[in-house]
Amino acid sequence: MGAPAEVAFAQLLFGGIAFMLLAAGSLVVFLVIYQKRLLRQQLHLRMAEATHQRQLLAAVIEAQEGERERIGRDLHDGIGSTISTAKLLLNRLETLPPTEDAEALLRLIREIMSAAVHDVRSISHSLYPAVLARFGLAEALQHLVDVSNETGQLPIVLEVEYGQPLPLAQELALYRIGQELVHNALKHAQGATRLLVQLHQQGPLLTLLVEDNGCGFPPDSAPPARGAGLRSIEVRVQMLRGRLHRQPVSGQGTRMIIELDDSDA
Protein backbone atom coordinates (compact mmCIF):
# COMPACT_ATOMS: atom_id res chain seq x y z
CA MET A 1 0.00 0.00 0.00
CA GLY A 2 2.93 2.32 0.76
CA ALA A 3 4.58 1.82 -2.63
CA PRO A 4 1.76 3.16 -4.77
CA ALA A 5 1.53 6.25 -2.59
CA GLU A 6 5.25 6.85 -2.95
CA VAL A 7 4.99 6.40 -6.72
CA ALA A 8 2.12 8.88 -6.93
CA PHE A 9 4.06 11.36 -4.82
CA ALA A 10 7.14 10.98 -7.03
CA GLN A 11 5.05 11.45 -10.14
CA LEU A 12 3.48 14.55 -8.63
CA LEU A 13 6.90 15.88 -7.63
CA PHE A 14 8.40 15.27 -11.07
CA GLY A 15 5.33 16.81 -12.66
CA GLY A 16 5.71 19.91 -10.48
CA ILE A 17 9.39 20.19 -11.31
CA ALA A 18 8.66 19.79 -15.01
CA PHE A 19 5.97 22.43 -14.80
CA MET A 20 8.30 24.85 -13.05
CA LEU A 21 11.04 24.18 -15.61
CA LEU A 22 8.58 24.73 -18.43
CA ALA A 23 7.34 27.95 -16.81
CA ALA A 24 10.91 29.14 -16.26
CA GLY A 25 11.82 28.33 -19.87
CA SER A 26 8.75 30.14 -21.14
CA LEU A 27 9.67 33.15 -19.01
CA VAL A 28 13.21 33.15 -20.39
CA VAL A 29 11.94 32.90 -23.96
CA PHE A 30 9.48 35.74 -23.29
CA LEU A 31 12.21 37.93 -21.83
CA VAL A 32 14.53 37.23 -24.77
CA ILE A 33 11.82 38.00 -27.31
CA TYR A 34 10.80 41.12 -25.41
CA GLN A 35 14.41 42.29 -25.18
CA LYS A 36 14.96 41.73 -28.91
CA ARG A 37 11.77 43.60 -29.73
CA LEU A 38 12.81 46.45 -27.45
CA LEU A 39 16.23 46.60 -29.07
CA ARG A 40 14.65 46.63 -32.54
CA GLN A 41 12.37 49.49 -31.51
CA GLN A 42 15.28 51.45 -30.09
CA LEU A 43 17.33 50.81 -33.24
CA HIS A 44 14.39 51.89 -35.39
CA LEU A 45 14.03 55.11 -33.37
CA ARG A 46 17.74 55.87 -33.67
CA MET A 47 17.68 55.21 -37.42
CA ALA A 48 14.60 57.41 -37.80
CA GLU A 49 16.27 60.18 -35.81
CA ALA A 50 19.47 59.90 -37.85
CA THR A 51 17.46 59.97 -41.10
CA HIS A 52 15.59 63.03 -39.87
CA GLN A 53 18.85 64.79 -39.02
CA ARG A 54 20.29 64.00 -42.45
CA GLN A 55 17.12 65.23 -44.13
CA LEU A 56 17.22 68.39 -42.05
CA LEU A 57 20.86 69.05 -42.91
CA ALA A 58 20.19 68.35 -46.57
CA ALA A 59 17.20 70.72 -46.57
CA VAL A 60 19.22 73.50 -44.93
CA ILE A 61 22.12 73.15 -47.32
CA GLU A 62 19.78 72.83 -50.31
CA ALA A 63 18.10 76.09 -49.31
CA GLN A 64 21.48 77.78 -48.94
CA GLU A 65 22.64 76.55 -52.32
CA GLY A 66 19.38 77.62 -53.96
CA GLU A 67 19.77 81.12 -52.57
CA ARG A 68 23.39 81.24 -53.66
CA GLU A 69 22.40 80.14 -57.14
CA ARG A 70 19.78 82.88 -57.38
CA ILE A 71 22.16 85.59 -56.17
CA GLY A 72 24.91 84.33 -58.44
CA ARG A 73 22.59 84.37 -61.46
CA ASP A 74 21.42 87.90 -60.62
CA LEU A 75 24.99 89.11 -60.25
CA HIS A 76 26.09 87.56 -63.52
CA ASP A 77 23.06 88.46 -65.62
CA GLY A 78 22.33 91.84 -64.02
CA ILE A 79 25.35 93.65 -62.67
CA GLY A 80 27.80 91.80 -64.88
CA SER A 81 25.89 92.65 -68.07
CA THR A 82 25.51 96.28 -67.02
CA ILE A 83 29.21 96.70 -66.36
CA SER A 84 30.11 94.94 -69.61
CA THR A 85 27.82 97.34 -71.52
CA ALA A 86 29.42 100.31 -69.80
CA LYS A 87 32.81 99.00 -70.82
CA LEU A 88 31.70 98.75 -74.46
CA LEU A 89 30.47 102.36 -74.34
CA LEU A 90 33.79 103.51 -72.95
CA ASN A 91 35.59 101.67 -75.73
CA ARG A 92 33.36 103.52 -78.21
CA LEU A 93 34.20 106.86 -76.65
CA GLU A 94 37.87 106.05 -76.94
CA THR A 95 37.58 106.10 -80.74
CA LEU A 96 36.60 109.79 -80.65
CA PRO A 97 39.33 112.47 -80.83
CA PRO A 98 39.86 113.18 -77.12
CA THR A 99 42.53 115.19 -75.38
CA GLU A 100 45.62 113.53 -73.96
CA ASP A 101 44.25 113.70 -70.40
CA ALA A 102 40.95 112.21 -71.51
CA GLU A 103 42.78 109.29 -73.09
CA ALA A 104 44.58 108.55 -69.83
CA LEU A 105 41.33 108.78 -67.93
CA LEU A 106 39.60 106.44 -70.33
CA ARG A 107 42.38 103.88 -69.99
CA LEU A 108 42.06 104.04 -66.24
CA ILE A 109 38.28 103.63 -66.38
CA ARG A 110 38.62 100.66 -68.72
CA GLU A 111 41.02 98.97 -66.32
CA ILE A 112 38.69 99.60 -63.40
CA MET A 113 35.70 98.24 -65.29
CA SER A 114 37.63 95.15 -66.37
CA ALA A 115 38.55 94.49 -62.75
CA ALA A 116 34.91 94.97 -61.72
CA VAL A 117 33.72 92.47 -64.34
CA HIS A 118 36.31 89.96 -63.13
CA ASP A 119 35.27 90.46 -59.51
CA VAL A 120 31.58 90.03 -60.28
CA ARG A 121 32.25 86.81 -62.18
CA SER A 122 34.41 85.50 -59.33
CA ILE A 123 31.66 86.26 -56.81
CA SER A 124 29.09 84.64 -59.07
CA HIS A 125 31.15 81.47 -59.34
CA SER A 126 31.76 81.42 -55.60
CA LEU A 127 28.03 81.65 -54.89
CA TYR A 128 27.11 78.97 -57.41
CA PRO A 129 29.74 77.22 -59.57
CA ALA A 130 28.00 76.93 -62.94
CA VAL A 131 30.93 74.90 -64.26
CA LEU A 132 30.03 72.17 -61.75
CA ALA A 133 26.49 71.80 -63.07
CA ARG A 134 27.74 71.81 -66.67
CA PHE A 135 30.94 69.78 -66.54
CA GLY A 136 31.12 68.03 -63.17
CA LEU A 137 33.25 68.01 -60.03
CA ALA A 138 36.65 67.49 -61.65
CA GLU A 139 36.30 70.53 -63.94
CA ALA A 140 34.90 72.63 -61.09
CA LEU A 141 37.92 71.81 -58.91
CA GLN A 142 40.22 72.62 -61.84
CA HIS A 143 38.53 76.00 -62.24
CA LEU A 144 38.84 76.63 -58.49
CA VAL A 145 42.56 75.84 -58.61
CA ASP A 146 43.12 77.97 -61.73
CA VAL A 147 41.38 80.99 -60.19
CA SER A 148 43.28 80.56 -56.92
CA ASN A 149 46.60 80.27 -58.77
CA GLU A 150 45.89 83.55 -60.55
CA THR A 151 46.21 85.34 -57.21
CA GLY A 152 49.84 84.23 -56.97
CA GLN A 153 49.40 83.64 -53.24
CA LEU A 154 50.32 79.96 -53.09
CA PRO A 155 50.93 77.50 -55.95
CA ILE A 156 48.22 74.82 -56.00
CA VAL A 157 48.60 71.42 -57.66
CA LEU A 158 45.52 69.39 -58.57
CA GLU A 159 45.57 65.61 -59.09
CA VAL A 160 42.34 63.95 -60.24
CA GLU A 161 41.40 60.31 -60.71
CA TYR A 162 37.62 60.38 -60.89
CA GLY A 163 35.96 57.92 -63.26
CA GLN A 164 32.49 57.41 -61.76
CA PRO A 165 30.77 60.78 -61.15
CA LEU A 166 28.47 61.14 -58.16
CA PRO A 167 25.01 62.75 -58.22
CA LEU A 168 25.04 66.55 -58.52
CA ALA A 169 24.02 67.15 -54.89
CA GLN A 170 26.95 65.08 -53.61
CA GLU A 171 29.39 66.68 -56.05
CA LEU A 172 28.22 70.11 -54.94
CA ALA A 173 28.80 69.22 -51.27
CA LEU A 174 32.27 67.88 -52.08
CA TYR A 175 33.08 71.01 -54.08
CA ARG A 176 32.05 73.23 -51.16
CA ILE A 177 34.25 71.14 -48.87
CA GLY A 178 37.20 71.47 -51.23
CA GLN A 179 36.55 75.19 -51.66
CA GLU A 180 36.54 75.75 -47.90
CA LEU A 181 39.67 73.63 -47.36
CA VAL A 182 41.58 75.53 -50.05
CA HIS A 183 40.43 78.85 -48.60
CA ASN A 184 41.52 77.78 -45.10
CA ALA A 185 44.91 76.61 -46.36
CA LEU A 186 45.55 79.86 -48.23
CA LYS A 187 44.64 81.77 -45.10
CA HIS A 188 46.29 79.73 -42.35
CA ALA A 189 49.09 77.62 -43.89
CA GLN A 190 52.00 79.70 -42.60
CA GLY A 191 55.27 79.15 -44.43
CA ALA A 192 53.71 76.90 -47.07
CA THR A 193 55.18 76.90 -50.58
CA ARG A 194 52.80 74.37 -52.13
CA LEU A 195 49.23 73.18 -51.75
CA LEU A 196 48.07 69.80 -53.04
CA VAL A 197 44.45 69.06 -53.89
CA GLN A 198 43.77 65.44 -54.75
CA LEU A 199 40.54 63.74 -55.80
CA HIS A 200 41.02 59.99 -55.97
CA GLN A 201 38.44 57.30 -56.65
CA GLN A 202 39.15 53.61 -56.24
CA GLY A 203 36.19 51.26 -56.34
CA PRO A 204 33.57 52.39 -53.82
CA LEU A 205 36.07 54.63 -51.98
CA LEU A 206 36.33 58.31 -52.93
CA THR A 207 38.98 60.45 -51.25
CA LEU A 208 39.34 64.23 -51.30
CA LEU A 209 42.69 65.40 -49.90
CA VAL A 210 43.97 68.93 -49.31
CA GLU A 211 47.53 69.09 -48.01
CA ASP A 212 49.96 71.95 -47.44
CA ASN A 213 53.65 71.90 -46.55
CA GLY A 214 53.49 74.77 -44.06
CA CYS A 215 54.67 74.76 -40.47
CA GLY A 216 51.61 72.85 -39.21
CA PHE A 217 51.34 72.36 -35.47
CA PRO A 218 52.78 69.70 -33.12
CA PRO A 219 50.62 66.58 -32.66
CA ASP A 220 50.67 66.95 -28.87
CA SER A 221 49.49 70.57 -28.96
CA ALA A 222 45.91 71.74 -28.91
CA PRO A 223 44.53 72.18 -32.45
CA PRO A 224 43.20 75.57 -33.50
CA ALA A 225 39.64 76.40 -32.53
CA ARG A 226 36.93 75.09 -34.84
CA GLY A 227 35.65 78.03 -36.82
CA ALA A 228 32.53 78.35 -38.92
CA GLY A 229 34.36 76.99 -41.96
CA LEU A 230 35.37 73.75 -40.26
CA ARG A 231 31.88 73.32 -38.80
CA SER A 232 30.43 73.76 -42.27
CA ILE A 233 32.80 71.07 -43.56
CA GLU A 234 31.78 68.71 -40.75
CA VAL A 235 28.08 69.23 -41.51
CA ARG A 236 28.58 68.43 -45.19
CA VAL A 237 30.71 65.38 -44.40
CA GLN A 238 27.99 64.14 -42.06
CA MET A 239 25.36 64.72 -44.75
CA LEU A 240 27.46 62.66 -47.17
CA ARG A 241 27.90 59.92 -44.52
CA GLY A 242 31.62 60.33 -44.94
CA ARG A 243 34.63 60.52 -42.66
CA LEU A 244 36.84 63.52 -41.96
CA HIS A 245 40.47 63.00 -40.95
CA ARG A 246 42.73 65.81 -39.82
CA GLN A 247 46.40 64.82 -39.77
CA PRO A 248 48.74 67.57 -38.56
CA VAL A 249 52.44 66.78 -38.87
CA SER A 250 54.87 68.91 -36.90
CA GLY A 251 56.93 71.05 -39.26
CA GLN A 252 55.37 69.42 -42.35
CA GLY A 253 52.00 71.12 -42.74
CA THR A 254 48.48 69.83 -42.38
CA ARG A 255 46.62 67.11 -44.26
CA MET A 256 42.81 67.10 -44.47
CA ILE A 257 41.16 63.96 -45.85
CA ILE A 258 37.50 63.31 -46.61
CA GLU A 259 36.51 59.73 -47.37
CA LEU A 260 33.25 58.52 -48.89
CA ASP A 261 32.66 54.79 -49.08
CA ASP A 262 29.62 53.55 -51.01
CA SER A 263 29.99 50.13 -49.42
CA ASP A 264 29.05 51.68 -46.04
CA ALA A 265 25.69 52.91 -47.36
Instruction: Band the pLDDT of 217: cuts 50, 70, 90.
Output: low
What gap in Å lies between CA 206 and CA 178, rounded to an integer?
Answer: 13
Confidence of residue 246 (pLDDT cuts 50, 70, 90): confident
Last residue of a domain, one of 128, 149, 169: 128
Could you tell me if 162 and 97 lie in one domain?
Answer: no
Query: Which tens digit of pLDDT belongs to each residue from 33-58?
Result: 888 888 888 888 888 888 877 777 77
What would the mean pLDDT of 236-246 be, rounded to a whole number? 88
Domain containing 187 equals 137-265
Q: Are residues 19 and 77 in the same domain?
A: yes
User: Given 83, 104, 128, which residue is the final one in a domain?
Assistant: 128
The distance of Cα 102 from the centroid of its chain, to the nearest Å, equals 51
Given this model, what pLDDT does residue 159 score?
A: 94
Count of domains for the chain: 2
Q: In what order do the strands lie in the sheet with 254-261?
A: 156-161, 195-202, 205-212, 254-261, 243-248
Is the pTM higher than 0.85? no
